[in-house]
Amino acid sequence: MSGDAKVIGAIEDRFDEVLTPEAIAFVADLQRKFGPRRTELLARRRDRRAQAVADGRLDFLEETKEIREDTSWQVAPPADLTDRRVEITGPTEKKMLVNALNSGAKVFMSDFEDASTPTWHNKVQGQINLTDAIERRIDFETAEGKSYKLKDTVATLMPRPRGWHLPEKHVLVDDEPMSGGLFDFGLFFFHNAQRLLDKGTRPYFYLPKMESHLEARLWNDVFVHAQDALGVPQGTIRATVLIETIPAAFEMDEILYELRDHSYGLNAGRWDYLFSMIKTFRERGEEYLLPDRNSVTMTAPFMSAYANLVVQTCHKRGAFAMGGMAAFIPSRKDAEVNRVALEKVQADKEREAKAGFDGTWVAHPDLVATAMKEFDAVLGDKPNQIDKQRPDLTVTADDLLATDKTPGEQTAVGLRNNIDVGIRYLEAWLRGNGAVAIHNLMEDAATAEISRSQVWQWVHNDVTLADTGDQVTVELVRKVADDVTAEIRSELGDEAYDQGRWAEAREVFEEVALADDFVDFLTLPAYDRL
């Protein structure tokens, strides 16, 4: 407790190492200084979306045209981490940490956001685990005798705090829940900034879910204040921004500009980008209707335009351009499943490397070698290809919004898959697991968001399914949900099913997929159930 900052979460073993009075005072100070602007910017998101719906489109900002057209400014040059050709992602759980750090990837994006259920235990234990990893004291042995030990050379840690929209209800500042992102960032920075500097590196971060350069400006102001407060040199922090919302795609230059002294590039966060496209234009009817989620690939014209613009924008400013996720989990039983999936992963990573990306994401250690091979073929001994400019490329607003050129159909198979994956993911999330293996894919909240938003869009736009001729209605969705949950019960058996949180998961899914008013993020009502 510090002044009017109260920790109301349970204090478990070693939590006192993280939740020190000084650390709580630090994060409370961040909340008081920056919380009001965060609230204003979240309200601005709603106003901007309303305008986009009314206009039927988004466009590049006229008021920031000068920043986009000024060719003179650059972000800060790369620091000690110059080779990011493969990055692995996952939660901050201890076993995942050791495996990811040992995977051969250059970076481990250790996730406090979409791959982590925001239970109090996960958030605080995750901080303990990251500090233990930095100090190389995270080695452990399981009850079965399996040993987990860090190798001599490990990936660079790059935590991802929660987005601006998520609260941390277990810490009250002046009787209000504080920002989850400020809590995650603040605790990590307070405890580890000097540790990392002493080891010859620095604190790196990934920043999710932003929708405007003003939100990037807020993060930059947080960084400046935090560095001053702890006596850390300005520019020490470096952060990569995920371009995973459609409004942010129109402000890439501006986002880099706002963070330029702390910028480490942009990432094509493609799954959340699909969710954002659906969410933003959900009432606009056929012009923004997408086919089945699984048929929307990076070769779709609007996705290809977005990826190319990430590369062009970043390299023009001397910044890293990071590619998207390969979510496949290799099967231990089915060699044919592996062969087909690995061919797709290989083709995806080859396309990214040749397009100019400096690195890419994988979700499983077994994919590191496949991704590394494709980037090695293009990069060779070079640490990156920031020098690969794309002056020939022109991406217009129409290109970024060309969803109507996406091949594919809306089908009963796609509807069932959305409902099935959505319910399966939410059940695991409610039990505290935010990174979930479903049908040989590592799914996080982004997949559940696409799934439920697509169901909402199809229901509210009277979509007729191409393969059955059925219209997507609330009743049809509930009937498919009946079939899905019956199948899951059959898979698990009655006892295991009843011990899970399946009924609750279905309730949450239907709440966020079928309600008249679209819920901005499914994690918000689900958080109330933790």
**What CA–CA distance (Å, rounded) separates 321 from 107?**
14
- Total length of the chain: 530
Beta bridge partners of 528: none
Residues in contact with 18: Cβ distance below 8 Å, sequence separation at least 6, in sequence order: 124, 127, 128, 131, 187, 191
Which helix (H) or strand (E) segment holds residue 266: the answer is: strand 263-268
Q: In a 3-state reduction of DSSP, which class is residue 487? A: helix
3-state secondary structure of 184: helix
Paired tokens of 158: 């790059």
Cβ atoms of 167 and 179 closer than 8 Å: yes
Q: Are 506 and 485 in contact (CB under 8 A)?
A: yes
Q: Which two tokens stand for residue 202?
A: 């620095």
> How far does Cα 48 stand from its chain's mean position?
22
Strands (E), 363-481: 436-438, 441-443
- Answer for the pair 276, 245: CB distance below 8 angstroms, yes or no: yes
444 given a catalytic annotation: yes
Q: Phi then psi for 196, rounded to 5 degrees?
A: -65, -40
On the 0-12 / 13-18 / 19+ scale of CB atoms within 10 A, 205 is buried
330, amino acid identity: P
38, 45, 49, 160: which is the annotated catalytic residue? 160
- Report how far residue 261's alpha carbon sits from residue 348's, in angstroms, rounded to the nearest whole number: 32
∠ CA(242), CA(401), CA(426), 5° rounding? 50
| Strand spans (E) along 4-148 | 5-7, 86-91, 107-111, 140-141, 147-148
CB proximity list for 516: less than 8 A, separation 6 or greater: none
DSSP state of 366: G
* Set 111, 292, 358, 444: catalytic member: 444
d(CA 505, CA 502): 5
| Cross-strand pairs, 176 | 173
Is residue 278 within 8 Å of residue 454, measured between CB atoms? yes
326 touches 363 (CB < 8 A): yes
DSSP H or E stretch at residue 508: helix 502-514
Q: What is the CA radius of gyration of the chain?
A: 22
- CA 56/CA 281 separation, integer angstroms: 8
| Residues recognised as catalytic | 160, 444
